Amino acid sequence: MKACRILLVEDNPDNFELIRFLLEREGYQVLEARDGSQGLRMARSERPDLVLMDLSLPQVDGWSAATQLKADPQTAGIPLVAITAHTLPGDRKRALESGFDGYISKPINVTSLNETVKKALEGK
Ligand SMILES: [Mg+2]
């Protein structure tokens, strides 16, 4: 079976490397974007199986990038999962309203990351 391709959009290098490590350990192929506009470009050109996206990002923030991806018929079908430290009440609702299908909070919990990714890929 071909490895699922996950586009990881994260500007913090430490978070990026940790999440990449955890995803690759599960057998996923990780595509890399470091800001929101690069994330949008890569989602359109690479058509990954899943986009995992930080919310606080340079250029285009995660909320706005999610709205743009869901509004574009070319990318609307790609599952979108937010990775974020924004865990105040209302943040989850705001992320889901922006177009995210799921939500992982920082600090990263390995079990919940794996479960959320698996569920999002299956729900595709
Ligand atoms: Mg960030």
- Determine the distance separating the centroid of ligand 1 and the alpha carbon of 111, expressed in angstroms: 22
Cis peptide bond prior to 79, omega within 30° of 0: no
- Determine the distance separating the centroid of ligand 1 and the alpha carbon of 16, expressed in angstroms: 10
pLDDT digits (tens, 9 = 90+) for 52-67: 999 999 999 999 999 9
Residues with CB under 5 A from ligand 1 (ion): 11, 54, 56
Picking from 62, 44, 52, 57, the residue whose alpha carbon sits closest to that of residue 28 is: 52
**8-state DSSP, 106:** S
- Determine the distance separating the centroid of ligand 1 and the alpha carbon of 24, expressed in angstroms: 21
- Determine the distance separating the centroid of ligand 1 and the alpha carbon of 45, expressed in angstroms: 22
| Whole-angstrom distance, CA of residue 114 vs CA of residue 61 | 24
Structural domains for the chain: 5-119 (3.40.50.2300)
- Determine the distance separating the centroid of ligand 1 and the alpha carbon of 95, expressed in angstroms: 14
pLDDT digits (tens, 9 = 90+) for 3-25: 899 999 999 999 999 999 999 99
- Determine the distance separating the centroid of ligand 1 and the alpha carbon of 115, expressed in angstroms: 22
DSSP 3-63: PPEEEEE-S-HHHHHHHHHHHHHTT-EEEEESSHHHHHHHHHHH--SEEEEESS-SSS-HH
Q: How far apart are the first and last CA of the chain?
A: 17
pLDDT digits (tens, 9 = 90+) for 42-100: 999 999 999 999 999 999 999 999 999 999 999 999 999 999 887 777 888 888 899 99
